[in-house]
Structure 1
Amino acid sequence: MSDTRFPLENSPKASQEAPAVPPPKKARVWRYAPVGFVLAGLALGYALGLQDYLSLGFLAEQREALRAYVDANFLWSSMLFLIVYILAVAFSFPAASVLTIFGGFLFGWMIGGALVAVGATVGASLLFLATRSAFGSFLRHRVDGSLRKLADGFRENAFGYLFVIRLAPVFPFFVVNIAAALFDISLGRFFAATFFGILPGTFAYAYLGQGVDSVLVAAQASGREAQISDLVTRDITLAFLALALVALIPTIIRQVRKRGDRR
């Protein structure tokens, strides 16, 4: 007599994986909550007129009062600046360059640059996590062909690609934060590539901020508001691009070798 205690053990249906059960509707909705929070915070910031305070015009008008307050409350001011920077980046508020100049002006290029590097990296990581929670599996489940290969290649060389993009600020900072989440990069690689990649540009802008006083005075004397273009020269822009190209060389060599091995 055959053993019939487990009649389905070797059947084809039993060997197949069980179909994936979609998450409950309530769980799917909560996935988008962090992104909704970011959008709500951004809208609230504009509604409150925060963009008027995060400008070189405001710095020009309040520079003496701001510097006096920082001198009297250095530690508290540093923590407050760090929190503001984290929130500005996490909510994708377009003020990173201006705030970096603020940091250099108020705290000096070294301390200001360090505060900006930490604040920008933490804020970017928060936005990265918010985007990944909502759309992290988008490319993995919905694209194929060349775009899938691009996603896989970006994931394999995440640190190198991100590091190069961060070195040369060609793309808006918040766009890179969102795009990286769509390509399913680990948080550790994102954090490290962002922190080390933005260091040259961060300290360069902070150094510009340290000497921004003369530019603000000149702009006020001419009856116009100072612009970031008054500080950023062509040489600085070319230097950023050169740094990015140099950093890209190892990634290019690695890709060429990989294609050669496949042949």
Structure 2
Amino acid sequence: MSRRKIIVSAIVVGLIVLFFALDLDKQFTIASLKANRQTLLELYASHRLATVGGFLAIYIAQTALSLPGATILSLAAGALFGAVMGTVYAVTGATLGATAAFLVTRYLFHETVQRKFGQRLAGINRELETSGLNYLLFLRLVPLFPFFLINLGAGLTRLPLRTFVIGTAIGIIPGGFVYCNAGASLATIEQAGDVASPRVIGAFALLGLFSLLPVLSAKAKARQKP
């Protein structure tokens, strides 16, 4: 690994260690959000641009470093900015942060992984280059796949950056709206599980399957050809 990559790795690891060393993860709870909501609303009323900018910076950093707290941040977006604008800010922050994680992973490890496992990944790379958007939308829409693992895993493949950004931005809108809308009614929420009901998860899974229909249809037609 080059000196530049070692420095980047050290910075990332250092920031993650600092986050937990300062017990910042304890601030990303529903109880903490409820306790500080009025203060945050007053801050937003007095300094709108600064509050939005600060929120985006926190969301981007949290996602880029794969830290816990995305759910709380989405609820906070709804509680502070309302369901619609909260979704806009949450999706923007999550997309930019995910892109940063994707790029850092690709910069640090893509070359090594492709050199060592390139032949084994050849089929996956071909699929992602041709139908990457459909697969990524499926992964983003179905809430069974950890958000941060998709960011890191995609960076190791040959998925085009543009496809990653578009697929992420579109794919997280439904989930972002659900959580931001719930955050707008924060008083009724006791835990994150109150938002992601089985019916909601089922609806997302159905949307994810719809995103795969073009790929499945193309494969079925290919098999029918002599």
Normalising by structure 1, what TM-score?
0.80
Q: What is the CA–CA distance in structure 1 between the aligned matches of 2:7 and 2:100, rounded to whole Å?
A: 13
Aligned to 2:208: 244
Task: Supply the RMSD in Å over aligned alpha carbons.
Answer: 1.8
Q: Which amino acid aligns with 2:151?
A: N
Q: What is the CA–CA distance in structure 1 between the aligned matches of 2:157 and 2:30, rounded to whole Å?
A: 35
Alpha carbons 1:100, 1:205 under 8 Å: kept: yes
Q: Which moved more, 1:141-150 or 1:130-139?
A: 141-150
Q: Which has the higher helix share?
A: 2
Q: What is the CA–CA distance in structure 1 between the aligned matches of 2:186 and 2:200, rounded to whole Å?
A: 15
CA offsets per residue over residues 132-166 of structure 1, 9 Å max, x none?
Answer: 01111234322265543123222322111111111
CA offsets per residue over residues 145-189 of structure 1, 9 Å max, x none?
Answer: 554312322232211111111111211111000100111222111
* One of 37, 45, 52 as aligned partner of 1:63: 37
Aligned to 1:152: 126
Q: Which amino acid aligns with 1:154?
A: L
Asked which structure has the greater CA Rg, the reply is 1
Q: Which moved more, 1:65-74 or 1:121-130?
A: 65-74
Alpha carbons 1:136, 1:182 under 8 Å: kept: yes
* One of 59, 81, 103 as aligned partner of 1:129: 103
* One of 217, 221, 224 as aligned partner of 1:257: 221
Alpha carbons 2:142, 2:205 under 8 Å: kept: yes
Aligned to 2:198: 234
2:86 paired with 1:112: yes
Aligned residue pairs total 226
% identical equivalent positions: 29
Gaps spanning 5+ residues in structure 2: where?
A: none
Q: Give 1:248 shift.
A: 1.3
Normalising by structure 2, what TM-score?
0.92
Q: Which amino acid aligns with 1:79?
A: G
User: Tell me, what secondary structure is at the counterpart of 2:28?
Assistant: coil
Alignment of 1:16-95 (within 5 A): 28-95=2-69
Q: Which moved more, 1:198-207 or 1:154-163?
A: 154-163
Q: Per the alignment, do residues 33 and 193 of structure 1 end up closer, same or farther by CA in structure 2, a change over 3 Å counting?
A: farther
Q: Which amino acid aligns with 1:237?
A: I
Q: Per the alignment, do residues 197 and 191 of structure 1 end up closer, same or farther by CA in structure 2, a change over 3 Å counting?
A: same
Q: Which amino acid aligns with 2:216?
A: I
Alignment of 1:212-227 (within 5 A): 212-215=186-189, 226-227=190-191
Q: Give 1:101 shift.
A: 0.6
Q: What is the CA–CA distance in structure 1 between the aligned matches of 2:223 and 2:17, rounded to whole Å?
A: 46
